[in-house]
Amino acid sequence: MKVQNIEEEIIQTKNHLAFLEKSLKEIQKKCDHQFKRNDNFERCLKCNKAEALYY
Ligand SMILES: [Zn+2]
């Protein structure tokens, strides 16, 4: 694999990752969360969003 190809693939992967993260945030923003409580955090059963619990 050539360096240029690798660099090209890194850029494409980063763009793809940014797209995925944005999609996930969008889903979690719209989600009607249903949290299930764990030890020190709670996680939404629908979108998997986790939130830390503070006492
Ligand atoms: Zn949710």
pLDDT in tens, 4-31: 999 999 999 999 999 999 999 999 999 9
The protein residues having their C-beta less than 5 angstroms from ligand 1 (an ion) are 31, 33, 44, 46-47, 49
Q: Are 55 and 42 within 8 A, CB to CB? A: no
State yes or no: pLDDT of 38 exceeds 70: yes
Provide the number of structural domains found in the chain: 1
C-alpha 52/C-alpha 24 separation (Å) is 19
pLDDT at 55: 65
Ligand 1 center from residue 29 Cα (angstroms): 8
Could you list the beta-strand ranges (E) of 1-55.
35-37, 41-44, 50-52
pLDDT at 1: 81
Ligand 1 center from residue 41 Cα (angstroms): 14
Domain that holds residue 18: 3-52
State whether the Cα torsion 11-12-13-15 is positive or negative: positive
Span 28-43, average pLDDT: 95
Ligand 1 center from residue 55 Cα (angstroms): 22
